[in-house]
């Protein structure tokens, strides 16, 4: 049979339709059975020899139930253990034919289904989501030519140049092995010891000490393929390519103090945000960007384009936006989908190939290997979430958990017994052919001199930051390295980062009790505006605004401000000293779904306090605390009625981003809504 006979076209719903065959929703009104289908008469008492006697071995129901439970856990991912996934689809804007023959990048009318998993890297499965860390951003495209995995992070570079260092790096970063402390943080001796002994990490450390490591939302992060890949077109011509995801909402972050508090208040902060927004129909969107370098320009840059500790400055190599992904469906079952999904940068389609980047080459081994232990054998491609939506045929057989029943006696290639099928096809007929790059050299364990500049781009990153972003980086070093106990390690870190920027190193050296360096070597003056989050799109859309009201609140004023926020897509949430109905002075009512007990200002983006004629002294105290905390985090604040008086009493009136009205400022609502859209008032003087 010709392969093409069974080729089905893939559309937005193809994966969902395939998953439907595996869904089980038929428990309602059903008799309970064992896994063998035997009806069960009793599920609360084990079978015993006498009412007070021992449980009997023959109780097969007890044994099956408890045995299944005993085996419910699988190993968590060795890195990226904590993650959260969602389904969606991808559309290309125009054919990428000049660069790649990948089918899913040709036709703007095709919607390719996909699954994305966002993750933190170092914490274990139950760790807080707002830890200072890199975020994973892995996408599985279910294309008509097979699975394509684009396994990205939210930072464009990595800690090392060669994958052989990865196990050492991860060991140093994870909790220390003798006491398993600390969880989900790099703020300890072994991490900084490794960093200071591996100066190629300098650039990536600058990213992890920056605001990028504290994303406000998975919906507001960039994604970067990090490694250099290759596009190959129909004519066999190659181009080097780097992949980007650009969030339509822009790239936004939490401040450190906020992130730490949210870690306690809501360890699920990022997944809750993603889940709720998808449930509400606020579908996250990311544009796919590519940077392309012609093969003739391989050596035209002052860095090696195969070095994963280097980015390609967007001002020098523009990012071309070529399509858009929309996430529009939450999972039905976390384990079956998010936990069992298995990514692998080696899952490619014709038209996408690899470069000789030594980090990428190592990754091409590691991902398939790690799935074998994590998912218990070689058949994980049969798990519903991992199944390709296009047919797959080969002579691989058997193994733990095999589900396919391969009919027939032939499981070998080349055969005559089954008309030599399944059979390979030529490149022209869609067979994957590796790019025929000419390589030659001696077998050596060495690295090219072109990989040896470890600091210039770290300085480029520092130069590109706005003043508040720089201050956050200084704070982050002071916090993270400040937690290190070994003085020599701390000093080595200070001395290392003097090579990036002397002022930076001096500033955190003083904070952590080290000797400030007197010399630094960087002469780099270049900056890249694309690296600063100051230059990202900003919107009020989906920003959460706390509305603080007590009994006796001003219904007309409050509903006017709520309507103004909603008109811009912001999400007001009523907070009071209790949950339930709150009565206004005009006897209208609003329901508070949040209280001072369940929530605090850190989980909101802005605050409106109206107060209420019947507000108790405790309400006033709680509201003031709420507002002061939002103030410390540079958030927009608006006050009316009693709320306005309290804000003035706290001496916050007149500060940047604090809006009081209507008497003092008739335009205050409009200005507040604009403030919500601009997110933070970094120039606010914090007293
Ligand atoms: Fe990974 N990485 N990695 N990584 N990585 C894994 O594979 C590895 C690297 C990334 O949501 C593991 O299935 C090596 C860069 C993401 O399931 C493992 C090196 C980038 C995820 C592995 C790297 C990534 C992983 C662990 C070379 C950004 C989570 C579990 C130093 C482009 C995927 C697993 C998910 C997961 C190895 C570096 C991204 C062990 C050897 C660079 C998003 O195979």
8 Å CB contact between 466 and 532: yes
Q: What HEC string does 10-21 produce?
A: CCCCHHHHHHHC
Separation of CA 359 and ligand 1 centre (Å): 11
Sheet of strand 594-595: strand arrangement: 594-595, 571-576, 544-549, 606-611, 637-639, 658-660
The domains of the chain, with CATH numbers, are: 83-176+219-386 (2.40.180.10), 457-533 (1.20.1370.20), 538-678 (3.40.50.880)
pLDDT at 28: 84
**Strand partners of residue 148:** 141
Can you tell me the distance from the alpha carbon of 251 to that of 238, in angstroms, rounded to the nearest whole number?
A: 31
Residue 608 has pLDDT above 90, yes or no: yes
Tokens of 415: 């055969």
**Strand partners of residue 330:** 86
Task: Report angle CA 48, 54, 59 to the nearest 5 degrees.
Answer: 45
Q: Which of 80, 203, 344, 454 is catalytic?
A: 80
Helical pair 617-632 and 641-649, crossing angle rounded to 10 deg: 60
Q: What HEC string does 153-192 produce?
A: ECCCCCCCCCHHHHHHHHHHHCCECCCCECCCCCCCHHHH
Q: Which of 61, 87, 153, 239 is catalytic?
A: 153
Q: Is 362 in the pocket of ligand 1 (CB under 6 A)?
A: yes
Can you tell me the distance from the alpha carbon of 593 to that of 570, in angstroms, rounded to the nearest whole number?
A: 17
pLDDT at 612: 98
Q: Rounded mean pLDDT of 482-503?
A: 98
Annotated catalytic residue 80: yes
**Which of 242, 346, 222 shows the shortest CA–CA distance to 303?**
242
| Peptide bond between residue 182 and the one before it cis (omega within 30 degrees of 0) | yes
Q: Is 226 in the pocket of ligand 1 (CB under 6 A)?
A: yes
Helical pair 166-173 and 189-197, crossing angle rounded to 10 deg: 150
Atom of ligand 1 nearest to the CA of 79: 26
Annotated catalytic residue 171: no
**Which of 681, 532, 682 shows the shortest CA–CA distance to 207?**
532
Residue 464 has pLDDT above 50, yes or no: yes
CA 92 to chain CA centroid, Å, is: 22
Tokens of 264: 């306690």
Tokens of 217: 């939302």
Q: Is 366 in the pocket of ligand 1 (CB under 6 A)?
A: yes
Separation of CA 153 and ligand 1 centre (Å): 9
8 Å CB contact between 339 and 74: yes
This complex has an ipTM of 0.98
Task: Report angle CA 200, 205, 211 to the nearest 5 degrees.
Answer: 155
Q: Is 207 in the pocket of ligand 1 (CB under 6 A)?
A: no
Ligand 1, pocket-test mutation among 120, 166, 345, 363, most atoms within 8 A of CB: 363
Task: Report angle CA 534, 538, 544 to the nearest 5 degrees.
Answer: 120
Residue 2 has pLDDT above 80, yes or no: no
pLDDT at 471: 98
Sign of torsion, CA 655 656 661 665? positive
Q: What is the pLDDT of residues 51-97, one digit of tens each?
A: 999 999 999 999 999 999 999 999 999 999 999 999 999 999 999 99
**Which of 156, 114, 118 shows the shortest CA–CA distance to 137?**
118
Q: Is 385 in the pocket of ligand 1 (CB under 6 A)?
A: no
Q: Rounded mean pLDDT of 325-352?
A: 98
Q: Rounded mean pLDDT of 400-415?
A: 97
Nearest CA to ligand 1 atom 44: 367
Q: What DSSP designation does 495 have? A: H
Q: What is the pLDDT of residues 27-60, one digit of tens each?
A: 888 999 999 999 999 999 999 999 999 999 999 9
């Amino acid at each position: 049979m010709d392969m093409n006979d069974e080729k089905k076209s893939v559309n937005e719903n193809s994966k969902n339709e395939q998953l439907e065959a595996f869904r089980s929703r038929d428990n309602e009104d059903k008799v309970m059975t064992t896994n063998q289908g035997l009806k069960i008469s009793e599920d609360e008492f084990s079978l015993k020899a006498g009412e007070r006697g021992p449980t009997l071995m023959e109780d097969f129901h007890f044994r099956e139930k408890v045995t299944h439970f005993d085996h419910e856990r699988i190993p968590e991912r060795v890195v990226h253990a904590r993650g959260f996934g969602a389904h969606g689809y991808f559309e290309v804007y125009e054919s990428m034919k000049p660069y790649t023959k990948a089918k899913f990048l040709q036709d703007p009318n095709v919607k390719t289904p996909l699954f994305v998993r966002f993750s933190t890297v170092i914490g274990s499965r139950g760790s807080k989501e707002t830890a200072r860390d890199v975020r994973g951003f892995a996408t599985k495209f279910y294309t008509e030519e097979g699975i394509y995995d684009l396994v990205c992070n939210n930072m464009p570079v990595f800690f090392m140049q060669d994958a052989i260092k990865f196990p050492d790096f991860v060991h140093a970063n994870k909790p220390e092995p003798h006491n398993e402390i600390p969880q989900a943080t790099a703020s300890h001796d072994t991490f900084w010891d490794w960093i200071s002994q591996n100066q190629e990490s300098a650039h990536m450390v600058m990213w992890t000490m920056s605001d990028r490591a504290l994303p406000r939302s998975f919906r507001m992060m960039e994604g970067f393929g990090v490694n250099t890949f290759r596009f190959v077109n129909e004519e066999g011509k190659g181009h080097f390519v780097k992949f980007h995801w650009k969030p339509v909402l822009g790239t936004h972050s939490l401040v450190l103090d906020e992130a730490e508090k949210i870690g306690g208040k809501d360890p699920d902060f990022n997944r809750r945000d993603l889940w709720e927004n998808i449930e509400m129909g606020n579908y996250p969107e990311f544009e796919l960007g590519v940077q392309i370098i012609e093969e003739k320009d391989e050596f035209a840059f002052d860095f090696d384009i195969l070095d994963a500790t280097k980015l390609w400055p967007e001002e020098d190599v523009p990012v071309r936006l070529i399509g858009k992904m929309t996430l529009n469906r939450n999972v039905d079952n976390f384990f079956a989908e998010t936990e069992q999904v298995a990514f692998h940068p080696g899952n490619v389609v014709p038209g996408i190939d690899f470069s000789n980047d030594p980090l990428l080459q190592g990754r091409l081994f590691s991902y398939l290997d790690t799935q074998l232990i994590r998912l218990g054998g070689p058949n994980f491609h049969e798990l519903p979430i991992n199944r390709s939506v296009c047919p797959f045929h080969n002579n691989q057989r058997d193994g733990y958990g095999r589900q396919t029943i391969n009919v027939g006696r032939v499981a070998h290639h080349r055969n005559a017994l089954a008309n030599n099928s399944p059979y390979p096809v030529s490149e022209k007929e869609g067979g994957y052919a590796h790019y025929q790059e000419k390589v030659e050299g001696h077998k050596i364990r060495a690295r090219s001199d072109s990989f040896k500049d470890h600091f210039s781009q770290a300085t480029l990153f520092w130069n590109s930051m706005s003043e508040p972003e720089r201050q956050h980086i200084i704070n982050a070093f002071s916090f993270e390295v400040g937690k290190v106990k070994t003085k020599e390690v701390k000093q080595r870190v200070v001395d290392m980062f003097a090579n990036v920027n002397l002022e930076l190193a001096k500033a955190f050296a003083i904070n952590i009790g080290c000797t400030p360096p007197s010399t630094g070597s960087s002469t780099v003056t270049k900056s890249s505006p694309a690296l600063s989050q100051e230059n990202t799109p900003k919107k009020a859309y989906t920003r959460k605004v706390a509305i603080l009201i007590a009994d006796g609140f001003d219904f007309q004023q409050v509903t006017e401000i709520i309507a103004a926020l909603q008109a811009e897509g912001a999400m007001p949430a009523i907070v009071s000293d209790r949950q339930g109905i709150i009565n206004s002075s005009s006897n209208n009512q609003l329901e508070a779904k949040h209280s001072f007990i369940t929530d605090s200002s850190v989980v909101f983006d802005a605050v409106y306090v109206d107060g209420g004629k019947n507000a108790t002294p405790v309400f006033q105290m709680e509201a003031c605390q709420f507002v002061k905390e939002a103030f410390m985090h540079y958030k927009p604040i608006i006050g009316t009625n009693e709320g306005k008086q309290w804000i003035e009493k706290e001496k916050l009136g007149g500060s940047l981003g604090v809006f009081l009205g209507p008497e003092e400022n008739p335009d205050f609502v409009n200005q507040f809504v604009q403030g919500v859209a601009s997110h933070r008032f970094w120039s606010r003087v914090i007293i």
